Amino acid sequence: MLHLFSVPTISRRAGRVWYRNLVVFFRTWKVNFFPPFIDALLYLFAIGMGIGTYIKEVDDVPYINFIAPAILAISVMNSAFFECTYGSYVRMYYQKSFDAMIATPLSIEDVIAGELLWGATRSVMYVAIMLPVLVAFGVISLPLSLLALPLAFLGGLMFAGIGMCITAITPSIDSLNYPMFLFITPMMFFSGTFFPLALLPAAFQYIAVAVLPLTHIVAIMRMFTLPALSWTILLHIAWIAAVTMIFCVMSINLMKKRLIV
Amino acid sequence: MDEIIAAENLRKTYDNLTAVDGISFVVRKGEVFGFLGPNGAGKTTTMKMIACVSPRTSGVLRVFGQDPAQQPAEIKHRLGVVPQETNLDPDFTSFGNLVTYSGYFDIPAHTAEKKADELLEFVQLQEKRNVEVEKLSGGMKRRLILARALVNSPDLLILDEPTIGLDPQARHLIWEKLKTLQAQGNTIVLTTHYLDEAARLCDRLVIMDHGKILVEGSPSDLVKQHVGEEIVEVEKSAEVLACLTERSIPHEMTGDTVQIATDSSREIVKILLESCQPKKMLTRPATLEDVFLKLTGRTLRE
Ligand SMILES: Nc1ncnc2c1ncn2[C@@H]1O[C@H](COP(=O)(O)OP(=O)(O)OP(=O)(O)O)[C@@H](O)[C@H]1O
Ligand SMILES: [Mg+2]
């Protein structure tokens, strides 16, 4: 059990893996740049303006401004999680990219670290493309909302780590659907995203804060975009940092166990 | 330093299966060293341990005098690996594959690009430079993998079935390239199921089975030692068999022929013609294939 948490040695070469993914990303940039745009518009129109017509305000905030940070937070979650589950699994299992990489001076630790960093980078990119749309609609405030970018990196790294742990133990690509439907999708709704946590029964509120990672990203994001900073941001950051650390370390060790035989 | 690879009592077990069962060998600088053996003999497993991608279970292994368990990155810097399973990066072109792979060796981009073009020419794939690897034929992919193994100008090449699935032209091309590389002072370790290829390329080789090394030596020595100079093949018939058994001439049955290994075929042929009423008969030089089949048997491996 202990080896799951042994701290891996990672070299600068992890950056090479990250860079490889970046190059592929820009080779297919047309496919990669539009979803964030469409996504942002879709949420704003369907939920913000559709539902927003009936719900004018939540906690004295216009409904559309209330959900804008949630849209960003959900994107952080989805892009990193998707990248480090389906994306990494395809590279590992179908493309045998990791096998090719570890035949070079790269170690498996470097490879997985590079993949995790890349997952976090995808979150940052997604948010970076969404931000101007939200700014144009006047639903988030500047300049504090720019802090969404570093937050996207931290939150992205957390979901990259969680996703990579799942990738390391999944028996097949189809099994990746389970965490998607049992973990990611419910979290989209019950993390203080489209309605305040306070509306949930007290027990559920505790659960949301204790175990749902998205809750903490939404909370910080909302402090940035409204803006409404509070000292509790430190608690949220500490929670995310700890969970990120645990899952990233664990994912590297699990992957090593899976691939180095 | 003369010994590029030194293995002593090297073992590898997967769960409860022993894939490599205590093998010892030395590969010297500038040699082409072959690993032969039936499917599942443990060749790939051995290659992977040398290439520092699979940890050994026990025994001693040194590559360039270093321990793969201790200094994998240093060793891998000087290795070129052609894996048995093609694993080119489908997200890139031929050229892109070579350049991206060079990046993993910390080779600066402009050096890598120049080298990539040289290597594409070396394996005669210039025309496919900007083609996605998905669109290459199997043989072209194999050649590209060889080119990829050379991006870092390795001191030791590890080739796991480098010519699998190649047409005769491409195989000859690869043989020629390997000879060139050897002439440049490279050390090459390879596995193959083509015994003519092994006989042609290898200075020394081992034949493995069930994770153990059965024999080691130069191809011609092994043939002389284990089979002899020539093989006489006769069509199988009751008369021939009875006749050979009667004179206690050692022979082996394969399908509908009987094979007799000998150092003087004329004598055997004479006996056969005079007293055994052979139908069809032919004499041929003994090959590595005869050694291989003699040592590992003729039954198919599961
Ligand atoms: N990752 C693995 N997990 C469990 N067993 C394995 C693994 N890889 C190989 N083996 C087993 O180890 C043995 C040796 O396999 P290896 O791939 O080294 O054979 P080989 O000589 O390369 O065969 P081939 O000529 O078919 O390539 C086989 O019995 C194989 O089933
Ligand atoms: Mg093999």
- Give the mean pLDDT of A24-30: 87
Quick one: which ligand is closest to B193's CA? 1
- Give the mean pLDDT of B263-284: 83
In CATH, the number for domain B229-285 is 3.30.70.260
Smallest CA–CA distance from A21 into chain B, residue? B91
Region of residue B240 (left: phi > 0; alpha: psi -120 to 50; beta: else): alpha
Band the pLDDT of B235: cuts 50, 70, 90. confident
What's the gap in Å between the CA of B159 and the closest CA on chain A?
12
* Whether the CB of B54 sits within 6 Å of ligand 1: no
User: Which ranges of chain B does DSSP label H, i.e. alpha helix?
Assistant: 43-50, 72-77, 94-104, 109-122, 138-149, 168-183, 195-201, 219-226, 238-246, 265-275, 288-296
Report the nearest atom of ligand 1 relative to the CA of B35. 21
Smallest CA–CA distance from A98 into chain B, residue? B87
**Token duo for residue A199:** 């509306």
Query: Residue A88 in contact with residue A163, Cβ under 8 Å?
Result: yes
pLDDT at B302: 55
Quick one: which ligand is closest to B39's CA? 1
Query: Residue A186 in contact with residue A110, Cβ under 8 Å?
Result: no
pLDDT at A2: 54
- Give the mean pLDDT of B59-88: 96
**Token duo for residue A69:** 């940070």
The conformation of residue B32, written as its DSSP 8-state character, comes to E
Q: Whole-prediction pTM value?
A: 0.92
| Percent of chain B's residues with pLDDT above 70 | 98
* Whether the CB of A261 sits within 6 Å of ligand 1: yes
Determine the Cα angle at B50 with ends B195 and B189, to 5°: 30
- Give the mean pLDDT of B263-282: 83
Between the CA atoms of A136, A139, A140 and A143, what dihedral angle is there, to the nearest 10 degrees? Answer: 50
Report the nearest atom of ligand 1 relative to the CA of B193. 25
Band the pLDDT of B253: cuts 50, 70, 90. confident
| pLDDT tens, residue by residue, A53-65 | 888 888 889 999 9
Residues 26-45 of A with CB under 8 A from B: 27
* Whether the CB of B43 sits within 6 Å of ligand 1: yes
* Whether the CB of B45 sits within 6 Å of ligand 1: yes
pLDDT at A37: 79
- Furthest C-alpha separation in chain A: 59
**CA A39 to ligand 2 centroid distance, Å:** 47
**CA B81 to ligand 2 centroid distance, Å:** 13
| Percent of chain B's residues with pLDDT above 90 | 69
More confident call, B160 vs B243:
B160
Quick one: which ligand is closest to B13's CA? 1
Q: Which residue among B16, B43, B46 is best mutated to probe the pocket of ligand 1, counting the most ligand atoms within 8 A of its Cβ? A: B43
- Give the mean pLDDT of B256-281: 83
**CA B40 to ligand 1 centroid distance, Å:** 5
This model of the complex carries an ipTM of: 0.89
* Whether the CB of B212 sits within 6 Å of ligand 1: no
- Give the mean pLDDT of A209-228: 94
pLDDT at B240: 83
Q: What is the DSSP string of A58-73?
A: ETTEEHHHHHHHHHHH
pLDDT at B181: 92
A96/B85 CB distance under 8 A:
yes
pLDDT at A59: 83
Smallest CA–CA distance from A104 into chain B, residue? B76
- Give the mean pLDDT of A143-157: 96
Query: Residue A18 in contact with residue A114, Cβ under 8 Å?
Result: yes
In CATH, the number for domain B3-218 is 3.40.50.300
pLDDT at B301: 64
Band the pLDDT of A115: cuts 50, 70, 90. very high
Q: Where are the domains of chain B?
A: 3-218, 229-285
Q: Is the pLDDT of residue A1 over 80?
A: no
**Token duo for residue A80:** 């990193």
Band the pLDDT of A103: cuts 50, 70, 90. very high
A20/B100 CB distance under 8 A:
yes
- Give the mean pLDDT of B179-202: 94
What's the gap in Å between the CA of A113 and the closest CA on chain B?
14
Q: What is the DSSP string of B9-31?
A: EEEEEETTEEEEEEEEEEEETT-
Element of type H or E holding B259: strand B257-262
Picking from B55, B89, B105, the nearest residue to A104 by CB comes out as: B105
